[in-house]
Amino acid sequence: QVQLVESGGRLVQAGGSLRLSCEASGFSFRRYALGWFRQAPGKEREFVAAIDWSDGKTYYEDSVKGRFTISRDNAKNTVWLQMNSVKPDDTAVYYCAADKVVASREFEYWGQGTQVTVSS
């Protein structure tokens, strides 16, 4: 049974930091690209960051470049999203996802999400 369980979401002040975690099980984690996506109220889900499985190359949405960092530990089946200098526009439910292809239009496996709220 595939599971992706996010944690770490909370209320944080603008300019602050937090780290989201996603623990995975039930699939070959080290052979999958991992991604973070977010969905704000009334908006469509959007890509935030991804990390490939073969070379560890990372990808970021423009608005988070230089502020967010995605990383993974294959031994722990865990992927993280370090969020620094957060802004109110970062408020959303954050989802981690996994797919064999980092550029996939629709990732195969998804977590349930964790709420991040940034106060101004």
Q: What is the pLDDT of residue 112?
A: 97
Share of the chain residues as helix, strand and coil, in percent rounded to the nearest 5: 10, 50, 40
Using DSSP's 3-state secondary structure scheme, residue 89 falls into helix
Q: Which of 59-63, 67-71, 102-106, 114-118 has the lowest mean pLDDT?
A: 102-106
pLDDT class of 103 with cuts at 50, 70, 90: confident
Can you tell me the distance from the alpha carbon of 10 to that of 85, in angstroms, rounded to the nearest whole number?
Answer: 15
Average pLDDT score over residue span 57-73: 97
Q: What is the pLDDT of residue 105?
A: 81
Can you tell me the distance from the alpha carbon of 51 to that of 97, in angstroms, rounded to the nearest whole number?
Answer: 11
Residue 10: pLDDT above 90?
Answer: yes
